[in-house]
């Protein structure tokens, strides 16, 4: 009985976090559709979302971005196929269509040092994780770390073994593990030289992808006004 009550309360909390706030500020359909022309497998999409959870992430990370996902290429047929993989706070790791992006603004990043083979490996890695659960405990611990509050548990390891065996993710750790799997680790900007954070996918936030020297911003992926 207590377990069911906790599950209902947690479900209500997630519904509260994922509810859009304010007026509709979603990116115009034309902007989203234009992405289909420039996107390649392995591209990273940084987005500012419209929900309470998005605002909370941006506040905690002091970034303009609340979410990160990856373009993996069409996963089905049609004019608007599922082609993006993300770790969603309510539904876990899933594939969505470009039209389903929760985006007030969008930026596309491309890894400059990876050839088409390794970009395909990236896309296949994240696609193979579809169905995995969202790591709410990780999100909670990362939030406490960002607020510099004490936490009894650690965020985990960045070892190759941890990368290959991870089964739960937040949006950042999903992509950070994927890039680590092809030898391109994403380091948290706030990590000091020599810090163990420097190679830890568990500590990465959306803004760290924007600052990483491994990426270039793709022209033509316009942001709405």
Q: Among 74, 110, 84, 89, which Cα is nearest to 171's?
A: 89
pTM above 0.85, yes or no: no
Which DSSP string corresponds to 79-122? Answer: SS-EEEEEEETTTEEEEEEGGG---SEEEEEEETT--HHHHHHH
pLDDT exceeds 60 at position 119: yes
pLDDT band at 53 (very low <50, low <70, confident <90, very high): confident
Query: Within a domain: residue 5?
Result: no
Provide the mean pLDDT of the chain: 80
Q: Is residue 11 part of a domain?
A: no
> Considering the domain boundaries, does residue 13 fall inside one?
no
Q: How many domains does the chain have?
A: 1
Q: Single out the residue of 162, 145, 163 nearest to residue 154, CA to CA.
A: 145
Q: Is residue 176 part of a domain?
A: yes
pLDDT at 161: 40
Q: What is the pLDDT of residues 12-26, one digit of tens each?
A: 766 666 777 765 556
CATH number at residue 210: 3.90.1720.10
Q: Is residue 26 one of the residues assigned to a domain?
A: yes
- 168: helix, strand or coil: strand
The percent of residues above 70 in pLDDT, for the chain, comes to 72
Question: Does the residue 25 lie in any domain?
Answer: yes
Instruction: List pLDDT tens digits, range 158-195.
Output: 444 445 567 899 999 999 999 999 999 898 876 444 44
Q: What is the structure's pLDDT at 21? A: 75
Q: Considering the domain boundaries, does residue 60 fall inside one?
A: yes
Query: Which pLDDT score, from 0 to 100, does residue 193 have?
Result: 44
Tell me the average pLDDT across 196-224.
Answer: 74
What sign for the dihedral angle of Cα 43, 46, 47, 51?
Answer: positive
Closest CA to 223 of 144, 105, 122, 101: 105
Which residues, including other chains, have CB under 8 Å from residue 117's CB and lie 6 or more apart? none
pLDDT digits (tens, 9 = 90+) for 74-106: 999 988 899 999 999 889 999 999 988 888 889
Cα distance between residue 159 and residue 181, in whole Å: 10
Question: How far is the C-alpha of 16 from the C-alpha of 22, rounded, in Å?
Answer: 14
Look up the domain containing 169 and give its range. Answer: 19-217
8 domain residue, yes or no: no
| In the block, residue with structure tokens 């760290």 | 208
CB atoms within 10 A of CB 34: 17
Q: Which tens digits make up the pLDDT trace of 122-138?
A: 999 999 999 999 998 88
């Amino acid at each position: 009985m207590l377990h069911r009550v906790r599950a209902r309360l947690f479900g209500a909390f997630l519904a509260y976090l994922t509810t859009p706030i304010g007026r509709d500020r979603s990116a115009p359909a034309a902007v989203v559709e234009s992405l289909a022309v420039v996107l390649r497998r392995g591209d990273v999409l940084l987005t500012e979302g419209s929900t309470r959870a998005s605002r909370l992430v941006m506040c905690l990370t002091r970034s303009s971005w609340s979410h990160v996902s990856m373009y993996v290429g069409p996963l089905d047929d049609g004019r608007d196929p599922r082609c993006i993989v993300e770790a969603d706070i309510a539904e876990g790791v899933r594939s969505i269509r470009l039209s389903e992006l929760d985006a007030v603004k969008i930026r596309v990043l491309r890894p400059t040092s990876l050839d088409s083979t390794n970009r395909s490996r990236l896309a296949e890695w994240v696609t193979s994780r579809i169905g995995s659960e969202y790591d709410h405990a990780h999100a909670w611990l990362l939030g406490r770390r960002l607020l510099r509050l004490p936490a009894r548990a650690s965020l985990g390891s960045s070892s190759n073994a941890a990368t290959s065996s991870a089964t739960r993710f937040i949006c950042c750790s999903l992509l950070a593990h994927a890039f680590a799997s092809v030898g391109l680790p994403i380091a948290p900007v706030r990590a000091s030289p020599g810090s163990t954070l420097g190679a830890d996918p568990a500590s990465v936030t959306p803004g760290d992808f924007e600052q990483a020297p491994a990426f270039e911003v793709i022209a033509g992926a316009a942001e709405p006004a």
